[in-house]
Amino acid sequence: MRMTGNTILITGGGSGIGRALAESFHRLGNQVIVSGRRLAALEEVTAANPGMAALELDVADPADVARFAAELVRRHPELDAVIHNAGIMKPEDATADDWGAGVAEATVATNLLGPIRLTAALLPHLRSRPRSAILTMSSGLAFVPLAATPAYSATKAAIHSWSMALRRQLKGTTTEVIEIAPPYVQTELMGAQQAADPRAMPLDAFISEVMTILTERPDAEEVIVERCRPLRFAAEEGRLATMFDTVNAMH
């Protein structure tokens, strides 16, 4: 992926990893559009970064995805990169009497169907560009699941698989597919306590390493920071059961 001269959409760009990536790409001279459900958060980002644009999007709503994609291409016909960052992560307790599928359904709609639907809506445009990129956001938990968040872990495993398959289908076209797999990072994905958890990787350190990998390895298919490598390669190295116990003993 080239690092400058792009027009990049970043979903979930109002906070956390999405905002940090948006600001990093913005500083490099890219035109960045952030999207999300909370307009106030998006406006805060654009106010702090003159020249950045914002569009509301509920990525879990199929009708809104269709509306958004049409408006995005109309306003930004030079769009040539999409970072699918929007996501939710909620605990589930299968032993609770009132446990149901509600959390799982919402998680699948946002984390998996959202990127699939938005990619489907934007891919004809992206393939018309001289060069384009689709960046997906999986997780270290795609490779070693967290028992407390089974649906989240499952959607991220699905995103990894989908990214591999999409990359193979688009091989030889002008569109590349890059997967970013974060470890446990200091964001508010699961609440304010996560942002202050010393066990989590500092957000600025994660973003810095991601941008370095993208810069130094422009043909990278996966962006795996050092902190995430034990999770990413646990199965390949015969450590999956041990790593699964380790990850789940922490939570």
CA neighbor of 106 nearest in space, from 46, 43, 37:
37
Averaged pLDDT, 185-214: 96
> What is the percentage of the chain residues whose pLDDT exceeds 90?
99
Averaged pLDDT, 183-210: 96
């202050």: which residue's tokens?
196
Q: What is the pLDDT of residue 61?
A: 98
User: Over the chain, what is the mean pLDDT?
Assistant: 97
Domain residues of the chain, as ranges? 7-249
Q: What is the pLDDT of residue 177?
A: 98
Q: For residue 146, name the pLDDT band (cuts at 50, 70, 90).
A: very high
Q: What is the pLDDT of residue 147?
A: 98
Which superfamily, per CATH, for 7-249?
Answer: NAD(P)-binding Rossmann-like Domain (3.40.50.720)
* Token duo for residue 143: 């490779």
* Token duo for residue 198: 């010393």
> What is the percentage of the chain residues whose pLDDT exceeds 70?
100
Q: For residue 153, name the pLDDT band (cuts at 50, 70, 90).
A: very high
Q: For residue 208, name the pLDDT band (cuts at 50, 70, 90).
A: very high
Tell me: pLDDT of 111 over 80: yes
Tell me: pLDDT of 149 over 80: yes
Tell me: pLDDT of 231 over 80: yes
User: Active-site residue 184, yes or no?
Assistant: no
Tell me: pLDDT of 49 over 80: yes
Q: What is the pLDDT of residue 251?
A: 74
Active-site residue, from 25, 68, 152, 184: 152
Q: For residue 250, name the pLDDT band (cuts at 50, 70, 90).
A: confident
User: How would you write the chain as a 3-class SS string?
Assistant: CCCCCCEEEEECCCCHHHHHHHHHHHHCCCEEEEEECCHHHHHHHHHHCCCCEEEECCCCCHHHHHHHHHHHHHHCCCCCEEEECCCCCCCCCCCCCCCCCHHHHHHHHHHHHHHHHHHHHHHHHHHHCCCEEEEEECCHHHCCCCCCCHHHHHHHHHHHHHHHHHHHHCCCCCEEEEEECCCCECCCCCCHHHHCCCCCECHHHHHHHHHHHHHHCCCCCEECCHHHHHHHCCCCCCCHHHHHHHHHHCC
Q: What is the pLDDT of residue 162?
A: 98
CA neighbor of 163 nearest in space, from 145, 184, 178, 182:
178
What does the pLDDT look like over 81-100, one tens digit per residue?
A: 999 999 999 999 999 999 99
Bridge partners of residue 180, in order along the sequence? 137, 223
Averaged pLDDT, 205-221: 97
Averaged pLDDT, 24-28: 98
Number of residues in the chain: 251
User: pTM for the whole thing?
Assistant: 0.96
Averaged pLDDT, 172-184: 97
Query: Are 15 and 192 a contacting pair, CB within 8 Å?
Result: no
